[in-house]
Chains A and B, each alone.
Chain A
Amino acid sequence: MQEAMIKRAKELLADGTVNRVMGWKRGEFSYDITPAVFETAEELDAEFVCDDLTQANVSKYLIKESRKEGKILALLKPCDTYSFNQLVKEHRIIRENVYVIGIPGGPKIDIEKIKAKEISGILSVKNEDYTLKIETIYGTETMPYYEAISGKCENCKSKKHVVFDELIGEDGDVLESNRFEMVEKLENMTAQERYDFWRDQLSKCIRCNACRNVCPACTCENCVFDNPKSGIDNKAAADSFEENMFHIIRAFHVAGRCTDCGECSRVCPQNIPLHLLNRKFIKDINSLYGEYQAGADTTSRAPLNDYSTDDCEPSIVHERGVE
């Protein structure tokens, strides 16, 4: 598949359709697959990577890239196309300046899950018939593919590309997922248990801002957390749990716009399940205001910028579930 991508990218560069390619290359460690822009066929041949470890959603990079001279080729997994569409809808990405090739999605491999098996000194990871062959400086290790599936792929919502100019591989369908399982589990806890859960999780936050920086919905020119005029800009926290404000506001700012791509939890160095906050909003929106999938199209009104005269009252929060 990687070869097909390189081949097609080179063709599009050669015929002048695009002058750059948004893809991935290896980072400091070979398993660290990082978004990268390629300008020549030689660069593509030498560095382009798209393998089982390639998880990063590149749509956010296209905000800036689509504003540059000439067209750029973007290779988008199904989940990335939702983020891309959402950014087109919000006038952030200039659609005409991007040539989109839909590529197959996951399930992708999370290197952290391999490391968790106390496998270290990793040199490369290969999938051989759903068994991972891991070359390390200490020798070769194996583990079942499914044990290393990335968290963000565990409850895949869709194999369908909602936007593309052409496809490599086949298009899939929107899937039936049970992605709200954990949200429901939390909803069924008592308030004290929920509080304890989140206090545990959010006290781990080191406020590195990785979640915000990777999030394709967090694309503000100037984030409120960096803006002294907003009144909520960064300050040292006396208690690390105080970072809950940051996470609530961030989740609220992306509510109705978050496509549930899962990047926030993927990049969190403290493994905080941040996507649960976003999923809570998505679940509420779906149940209170009708099914809505951000990024599924570029024309529908965002649920928070819309209303119905017979919407429920906030007291519904008091009436349902466990206190």
Chain B
Amino acid sequence: MQVNENFEPVIVAFCCNWCSYAGADLSGTNRLNYPSNVKIIRVPCSCRVNPMFILRAFQKGADGVILCGCHPGDCHYTSGNYFTRRRITLLYSMLDFLGIERNRTRLEWVSAAEGAKFAAVMNQFVEDVKKLGPNRRLEDLRCRKQ
């Protein structure tokens, strides 16, 4: 496979307000670097993330989508991330079944205290997606960038 050194992937990160978004803030407060490819969308809970949003992102040209939520058991809303875990496991399994590269999708639990983990996860994810190159398999040609 061709690896384009200059390829800068578009990465969408959905982060729950209470843990992961705060964890992302913390990694900022601690000045921990991760690539600017990562753009965060704040949601109240990881369980707010509809699989449609993830597919939409891929359709519109995202090269990787990562979903971050509170650790299982620590959900601000008690059980939200447990539902997330089932939904996202099944969705990612289906995308895999359709032959979509596994490393384009990820789910990570990042607490409000884990600023360092947030940065590490994002660094790793961006690196993994870079290796895969641009997302073509799930892209909608109508949305392709000019």
Contact = CB atoms under 8 A, between A and B. Distances in A.
Q: When A and B assemble into the complex, do they touch directly, with CB atoms less than 8 Å apart? A: yes
B99 A232 contact: no
B3 interface: no
Given A245-B140, A309-B72, A186 B89 contact: no
B99 A196 contact: yes
Interface in B87-117: 87-103, 105-107
B59 interface: yes
Given A280-B94, A284-B93, A309-B82, A314 B99 contact: no
Interface stretch (A84-92, A169-177, A246-254): A246-254
B83 interface: yes
A193 B99 contact: yes
Given A194-B99, A197-B99, A231-B52, A317 B87 contact: no
A151 B97 CA distance: 21
B40 interface: no
Given A289-B86, A311-B82, A311-B86, A187 B99 contact: no
Nearest to A247: B98
B80 to A, nearest CB: 10
Contacts of A237: 140, 142
A255 B90 contact: yes
A280 B97 contact: yes
B141 A317 contact: no
B79 to A, nearest CB: 7
Nearest to A284: B93
B31 interface: no
Contact of B99 (A195, A255, A315): A195
A250 B81 CA distance: 23
B26 to A, nearest CB: 23
A323 B100 CA distance: 9
A187 B107 CA distance: 21
B86 A313 contact: no
Interface residues of B, number: 37
A307 B88 contact: no
By size class, the interface of chain A is 35 or more
B55 interface: yes
B102 A318 contact: yes
Interface string A213-254: 000000000001000001110010111001011001101100
22 contacts: A197-B99, A238-B140, A238-B141, A238-B142, A244-B98, A245-B140, A248-B95, A284-B90, A284-B93, A289-B86, A304-B83, A304-B87, A307-B85, A308-B82, A309-B72, A311-B85, A311-B86, A313-B89, A314-B88, A314-B93, A314-B107, A323-B102
Interface of B: 51-52, 55-56, 59, 72-73, 79, 82-83, 85-103, 105-107, 137-138, 140-142
Interface of A: 183, 186-187, 191-199, 224, 230-232, 235, 237-239, 242, 244-245, 248-249, 251-252, 255, 277, 280-281, 284-285, 288-289, 303-309, 311-318, 321, 323
Given A193-B99, A195-B98, 20 more contacts: A194-B99, A195-B100, A198-B98, A231-B56, A238-B140, A244-B98, A248-B95, A281-B90, A288-B89, A304-B83, A304-B90, A305-B83, A307-B82, A308-B82, A309-B72, A309-B82, A311-B72, A311-B89, A314-B93, A317-B92
